[in-house]
Amino acid sequence: MSTDRIALKGLRARGRHGVLPAERELGQEFVVDATLFLDTAPAAASDDLTSTVHYGELAEALVKVVEGEPVQLVETLAQRLADVCLAYERVLSVEVSVHKPAAPIPLPFDDVIVTIERSRP
């Protein structure tokens, strides 16, 4: 696996994901971190954006998933986000973290984070 990485950290979007009806109705902010593992040498050699992953387009695609069809589990949302990242043919593997800082937990806490790693088959 390549050691080159492109990381997008702290991407914020409002979604309606969760098990509780109030989460689906009111929605809340989710924060996404995605680290793509790929070979950036072709892009470096050519200085050509088409030889890498356009992180602006990636950010827009990830936000569409968060703002899109609600799911119950953050794990499901993380998988959908990983699938978007792996749709870029240059991406060999990805690590995605989904933060749910406003999770309905009746105790003081900083954040709930689900992190997954996925690779091409």
CA atoms within 13 A on the CB side of 59: 12
**pLDDT per residue as tens digits for the range 64-75:** 999 999 999 999
Is residue 9 annotated as a catalytic residue, yes or no? no
Query: Quick one: average pLDDT of 108-115?
Result: 97
What value does the mean pLDDT of the chain take? Answer: 96
Q: What is the pTM of this model?
A: 0.95
* Distance (Å, whole) CA 18 – CA 51: 37
pLDDT of residue 2: 58
Q: Which H/E stretch holds residue 58? A: helix 55-67
Nearest to 84 by CA among 60, 112, 48, 115: 60
- 11 torsion bin: left (phi>0), alpha (psi -120 to 50), beta (else): beta
What is residue 121's predicted lDDT score, i.e. its pLDDT?
79
Residue 18: how many CA atoms within 13 Å on its side-chain side?
22
Please state the rounded mean pLDDT for residues 15-19.
97
pLDDT one-digit tens code per residue, 43-62 = 999 999 999 999 999 999 99
Tell me which of 8, 15, 71, 100 is the catalytic residue.
Answer: 100
